[in-house]
């Protein structure tokens, strides 16, 4: 059976299309939609997808209790997929951006000569940046990772969360989840942490620290229930669970 997009999914698709149509003719897109936005950044080994999923359900529930039909959604890897679709490239061709890598001049020349679907590093980064901004601008959305904290700092209806935990706690989980020895897991942890920090810094445009986040939560000492409750309560206290019928 063919999947049918929901009205909420169609709304996001329309925003994506508006942005994509603009960049294809090198115009700066103007997005008039604006709404509450939550970013969740995490140190490697601090799982966030299930928290984001549960948080979206809880915030949607609170919206309904407040008389609104606005649905919260959460997004992770689809940012990469939407960016690749806009560029007419396979996601693997642009994944390097999220790994904090940059094409050299030689890479650019080789790519340009080897494929008729060549896209410059600048074009790829511009597209990814625009996709994240477009998603954040739709409102009632939670973005996990992907440097999302950099794309809502000018939005008064935004909350930026950081999930962290002691290194030993994270090494245990990385070792189990990725079938690595503890020394391998530790090296992997430092590598991915550096990549994620560099990605945020590159999007923010300066060397960041923990103060860019509104709330820093310890995955080792807090349960998922407690984390979801704290973020939900903060969102509600800031008026991000709408009282208006949409």
Please state the rounded mean pLDDT for residues 17-26: 46
Predicted pLDDT of residue 81: 63
CA–CA dist 185, 169 (Å, integer): 11
Question: Of the ranges 4-8, 28-32, 106-110, 122-126, which one carries the lowest mean pLDDT score?
Answer: 106-110
Q: Are strands 158-164 and 73-75 parallel, antiparallel or unpaired?
A: unpaired
Place 30 in a pLDDT band, splitting at 50, 70 and 90: very low
42-74 pLDDT tens trace: 999 999 999 999 999 999 999 999 888 889 988
Predicted pLDDT of residue 34: 65
Question: Are 21 and 143 in contact, with CB atoms under 8 Å apart?
Answer: no
Q: In whole angstroms, how far apart are CA 81 and each of 86, 91, 227?
A: 9, 6, 28
Q: What is the pTM of this model?
A: 0.72
pLDDT at 174 over 50: yes
pLDDT at 104 over 50: no
Residue located via tokens 């049918």: 4
Fold (CATH) for 26-237: Rossmann fold (3.40.50)
Radius of gyration of the chain (CA): 19
Backbone angles phi, psi at 174, to 5 degrees: -65, -40
CA–CA dist 148, 39 (Å, integer): 5
- Say which DSSP state 239 is in: T
Question: Are 161 and 217 in contact, with CB atoms under 8 Å apart?
Answer: yes
Query: Domain-by-domain residue ranges, the chain?
Result: 26-237
Predicted pLDDT of residue 102: 44
Helix, strand or coil, per DSSP, at residue 217:
strand
Question: Are 133 and 189 in contact, with CB atoms under 8 Å apart?
Answer: no
What lies within 8 Å, CB to CB, of 135 at 6+ separation is: 12, 15, 16, 75, 79, 82, 141, 143
| Beta partners for residue 233, in sequence order | none
- Say which DSSP state 120 is in: -
């Amino acid at each position: 059976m063919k999947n049918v997009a929901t009205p909420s999914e169609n709304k996001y698709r329309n925003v994506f299309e508006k942005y994509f149509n603009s960049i294809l003719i090198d115009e700066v897109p103007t997005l008039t939609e604006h709404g509450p936005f939550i970013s969740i950044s995490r140190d490697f080994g601090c799982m966030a997808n299930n928290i984001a999923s549960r948080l979206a359900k809880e915030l949607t529930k609170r919206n309904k209790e407040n008389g609104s039909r606005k649905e919260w959604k959460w997004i992770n890897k689809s940012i990469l997929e939407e960016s690749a679709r806009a560029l007419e490239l396979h996601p693997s061709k642009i994944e390097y951006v999220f790994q904090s890598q940059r094409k050299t001049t030689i890479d650019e020349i080789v790519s340009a000569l080897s494929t008729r679907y060549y896209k410059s590093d600048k074009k790829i980064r511009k597209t990814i940046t625009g996709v994240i901004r477009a998603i954040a601008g739709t409102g009632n959305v939670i973005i996990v990772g992907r440097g999302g904290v950099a794309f809502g700092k000018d939005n008064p209806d935004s909350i930026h969360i950081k999930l962290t935990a002691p290194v030993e706690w994270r090494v245990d989980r990385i070792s189990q989840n990725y079938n690595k020895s503890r020394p391998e897991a530790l090296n992997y942890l430092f590598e991915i942490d550096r990549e994620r920090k560099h990605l945020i810094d590159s999007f923010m445009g300066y060397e960041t620290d923990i103060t860019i986040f509104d709330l820093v939560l310890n995955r080792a000492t807090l349960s998922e229930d407690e984390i979801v409750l704290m973020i939900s309560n903060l969102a509600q206290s800031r008026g991000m669970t709408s009282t208006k019928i949409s």
